[in-house]
Amino acid sequence: MRANIATLLVCLAAPVAGLPAVVLAQTPTVAGASQTPGGEAAGRSTPVTPGKPAAAADGGTNSAASIPSSVPSAAARPPGKPQEQVDWRKTRLPTDAAYAAFQRGYFLTAFREATKRIEAGGPNAAAAMTLIGELYRDGLGFRENPVEAARWYALAAKRGDAQAAFALGRAYLAGEGVKKDTAKAKEFFEQAAGKNVGAALYNLGIMAMEPTKDKQGEIVDFRAAANLFERAAAEGDLDATYSLALLYRSGRGVPKDDTKAAELLKQAADQHHLVAETEYAIVLFNGKGVRKDEAAAAKYFIKAAWRNSPVAQNRLARMYAAGRGVKRDIMNAMKWHIIARASGVKDKWLDDKLRTLTRTQRQLVNEQVRKFATK
């Protein structure tokens, strides 16, 4: 959406001190799990007018389905890219029949219950409108319809729903169901941020980092970005926590503070932020802002590697090959090297190690790689 924003943050591929330098190629993003609609007539496409319930009854098994998350995994979305989805598991929508049905994957039931809430009116009608917008946006119970989704978001945002304002801002930012308009996106993000929606605060922080021109040339408001990231982090937004760590590490918008940066990285890593896991492992290995601990670094690299971080896979391969922080294990080293290399991480030093394996060793390593690929 705005891929250039990632360049404003500190590069993720920081070298590990004491190991041979690595030249990283651009690594492809690792897609998250595909969304599978629940068993309720998932392909239904009948248009629905706001305020009028759907006519069709449930048509399937109502099996549970994964609910979209507001923040795609770090592997799928590079830090610095705006957040794209509402996380209905974390919203303040009251626990009611519509929300419960949504969580369980009963999407048409969720729709019907939401429309009942809308027709009844009251303070929770706006949240129900937002829920319907999300169903249309992600094709849950209906075919994806970004125009219809944006219409529902607009209705809910007009009634003061903060999550709808964020979702509508996201739509204007991407040109999803509406004409792309960055100014309007910012306006709706600010509406949501006024009610402390972490994702909106984070996106405003990213927007503050976009260069603007004045008489002295291009300027970036890192101080404003840092303030917004801090507010978003206080609301539990892990991308903001991670981004704030990078600003402390670089001294942009805040005083340079490696210790604070390490604390924030750990905070995000311990809550399973994938890129933060890798970055904190590098910090631990190098002892930058925290006591050097190669064994602890290895544990974070292992977690991130199994979650498909190519950088972590490469660093872990080097640690196994060198016997740093873990017991030397050339077979494990080569397994992780091959996996990382498949994602575009080039490493001549490890390539040379790979060539020393016997035919039998190569076969065993390839079998381990196949097991990982099919896990």
Q: What is the pLDDT of residue 83?
A: 57
Please check the confidence at residue 237 and state whether its pLDDT lies above 80: yes
* Residues 344 and 195 occupy one common structural domain: no
Could you tell me which residues come within 8 angstroms of residue 283 by beta carbon, excluding any fewer than 6 positions away? 261, 262, 265, 289, 290
* Domain edge (last residue) among 147, 177, 210: 210
pLDDT bracket for residue 81 (50, 70, 90):
low
Nearest to 275 by CA among 253, 305, 299: 305
Domain that holds residue 373: 310-375
Q: How far apart are the first and last CA of the chain?
A: 31
Q: Where are the alpha helices (DSSP H) in the chain?
A: 97-104, 107-120, 125-138, 146-158, 162-174, 182-193, 198-208, 222-234, 238-250, 258-269, 274-286, 294-306, 310-322, 330-342, 348-354, 359-373
Angle at 329 between CA 326 and CA 332, to 5 degrees: 100
**pLDDT top residue among 46 and 297:** 297
pTM of the model: 0.75
pLDDT bracket for residue 72 (50, 70, 90):
very low
Give the C-alpha separation, 193 to 202, whole Å.
Answer: 9
* Domain edge (last residue) among 177, 210, 243: 210
Q: How far is CA 271 from CA 88, 212, 302, in A?
A: 18, 34, 15
* Residues 314 and 206 occupy one common structural domain: no
Examine residue 256 and state whether it is found in any structural domain, yes or no: no
Q: What is the pLDDT of residue 4?
A: 32
pLDDT bracket for residue 211 (50, 70, 90):
confident
User: 280-325, pLDDT tens digit by residue?
Assistant: 999 999 999 999 999 999 999 999 999 999 999 999 999 999 999 9
* Residues 177 and 321 occupy one common structural domain: no
User: 50-70, pLDDT tens digit by residue?
Assistant: 433 333 333 333 322 222 222
Give the C-alpha separation, 132 to 126, whole Å.
Answer: 10
Could you tell me which residues come within 8 angstroms of residue 266 by beta carbon, excluding any fewer than 6 positions away? 280, 290
Q: What is the pLDDT of residue 35?
A: 30
Give the C-alpha separation, 98 to 130, whole Å.
Answer: 11
* Residues 206 and 80 occupy one common structural domain: yes
User: 116-143, pLDDT tens digit by residue?
Assistant: 999 998 888 999 999 999 999 999 999 9
Question: Which 8-state DSSP code applies to residue 121?
Answer: -
Q: What are 319's two structure tokens?
A: 């640690």
pLDDT bracket for residue 215 (50, 70, 90):
low
Give the C-alpha separation, 79 to 44, whole Å.
Answer: 35
Mean pLDDT, range 193-201, rounded to an integer: 97
Mean pLDDT, range 80-103, rounded to an integer: 62
Question: Which 8-state DSSP code applies to residue 60?
Answer: S
Nearest to 219 by CA among 210, 228, 232, 229: 210
Q: Provide the 10 A C-beta neighbour count for residue 313.
A: 29
Phi then psi for residue 217, to 5 deg, are 110, -155
Examine residue 339 and state whether it is found in any structural domain, yes or no: yes
Q: What is the pLDDT of residue 202?
A: 97
Nearest to 237 by CA among 211, 245, 283, 301: 245
Give the C-alpha separation, 171 to 137, whole Å.
Answer: 10
CATH number at residue 199: 1.25.40.10
Examine residue 48 and state whether it is found in any structural domain, yes or no: yes
Question: Which 8-state DSSP code applies to residue 42?
Answer: T
Q: What is the pLDDT of residue 213?
A: 75
> Total structural domains in the chain?
2
Mean pLDDT, range 317-339, rounded to an integer: 98
**pLDDT top residue among 212 and 145:** 145
Examine residue 19 and state whether it is found in any structural domain, yes or no: no
**pLDDT top residue among 14 and 159:** 159
Report whether 72 contacts 30 (CB < 8 A).
no
Q: What is the pLDDT of residue 212?
A: 81
Nearest to 228 by CA among 210, 240, 219, 245: 240
Radius of gyration of the chain (CA): 23
Q: What is the pLDDT of residue 24?
A: 24
* Domain edge (last residue) among 210, 226, 261: 210
In this structure, which amino acid lies at residue 188? Answer: F
Q: What is the pLDDT of residue 11?
A: 31
* Residues 326 and 195 occupy one common structural domain: no
Q: Where are the alpha helices (DSSP H) in 175-269?
A: 182-193, 198-208, 222-234, 238-250, 258-269
- Which residues are paired to 219 by β-bridges? 212
Report whether 350 contacts 336 (CB < 8 A).
no
Mean pLDDT, range 26-43, rounded to an integer: 29
Examine residue 267 and state whether it is found in any structural domain, yes or no: no
Lowest mean pLDDT among 14-28, 196-210, 303-317: 14-28
Mean pLDDT, range 173-190, rounded to an integer: 97
Phi then psi for residue 216, to 5 deg, are -95, 5
Portion of the chain with pLDDT greater than 70, in percent: 74
Q: What is the pLDDT of residue 219?
A: 81
Three-class SS of residue 307? coil
* Residues 194 and 321 occupy one common structural domain: no
Examine residue 132 and state whether it is found in any structural domain, yes or no: yes
Give the C-alpha separation, 256 to 272, whole Å.
Answer: 25
Q: What is the pLDDT of residue 122?
A: 85
Examine residue 295 and state whether it is found in any structural domain, yes or no: no
Examine residue 202 and state whether it is found in any structural domain, yes or no: yes
Please check the confidence at residue 37 and state whether its pLDDT lies above 50: no
